[in-house]
Amino acid sequence: MRVVPVLFFVGTCLVFAGCAVSHQHPVSIPPLTIRGNAAPILNRVPVIHVVVALCDNKYQGIIPVPARIGNGDDLVDNLYWGADYGVKSYFRHRSDWKLVQSIKNPSPVILERIVFTNGKSHAVLVADAYRGREIKRATEDFLSFAGGNQPSALKVDKYNLTVGGGADYLIYVGHDGLMNFAVAPPRPSIQNQPKKIAVLCCKSQQFFAPAIKSVNAVPVLWTKSLMAPEAYVVEAATQSFLKKERGTKATERASAAYAKYQHISVKAARTVFASGF
């Protein structure tokens, strides 16, 4: 069921969103240890790991959104997960991505992990839905992964892969918690090659730059202004990564997607995104 999109503010962020009910049934597979360190494995296919901090009226420094989409403990309707433009709902409806795993409660702070595969590029996209109240933990984990820390093993079909700090591309989605709290970014792993990342939240270039520099990561895509961190931008970031784009090509792809779904001009959308420091 679709609901007419509504224009409203999330924190300092302007959001245009619609909601949908997700009826995806989880696949029965063994639980994973998200926090454990695994011996790094060179991924044989591109692996994208998306860290999603679920929208939460109660525990995040945001202007409240409608209760239905602002419950940080609810997967079905959450703005960044089960709503029309949430990561799970959006990618489930993309013809080139196939949902192959759904793992509920893989750790105390993560409500669900989903795994998609792409038949054209053979890429794997892993997304973790962190409880809204755990936004600080989500931010810390993302920065740790960006520094090449906390690699963890994941088997997808015939492939033994490494996610977390072993992923090839890392994306953060949600509210910019660094507007409200500080974190101590970890040192980059001594084995780490600089990670390519995208940070999709309001003014991420301003608030995340010191931490991203400290972990020696490469910001292929992040933001200069308020924005709606919805999944069509995640898709644009992923496409850009798979095509090995960077700089203006990456921002142009994100801007085109943002203009389409936000119903604004591409010129206006270009003011949202940046690449590099």
Do residues 81 and 52 make contact, with C-beta atoms less than 8 angstroms apart? yes
Residue 104 scores a pLDDT above 60: yes
Angle, helices 231-242 vs 248-262, to 10°: value is 150
- Mapped onto helix, strand or coil, the DSSP state of residue 235 is helix
Tokens 């997967």 map to which residue? 75
Model pLDDT for residues 66-91, shown as the tens digit of each residue: 999 999 999 999 999 999 999 999 99
Tokens (6 digits) for 14: 């302007």
Model pLDDT for residues 120-132, shown as the tens digit of each residue: 999 999 999 999 9
What pLDDT, on a 0 to 100 scale, did the predictor assign at position 186?
82
Residue 34 scores a pLDDT above 80: no
Residue 48 scores a pLDDT above 90: yes
Do residues 227 and 200 make contact, with C-beta atoms less than 8 angstroms apart? yes
Q: How many Cβ atoms sit within 10 Å of the Cβ of residue 128?
A: 26
Terminal Cα-to-Cα distance of the chain (whole angstroms): 42
Distance CA 149, CA 40 (A): 10
With a threshold of 0.75, does the pTM exceed it?
yes
Model pLDDT for residues 170-215, shown as the tens digit of each residue: 999 999 999 999 999 788 888 768 999 999 999 999 999 999 999 9
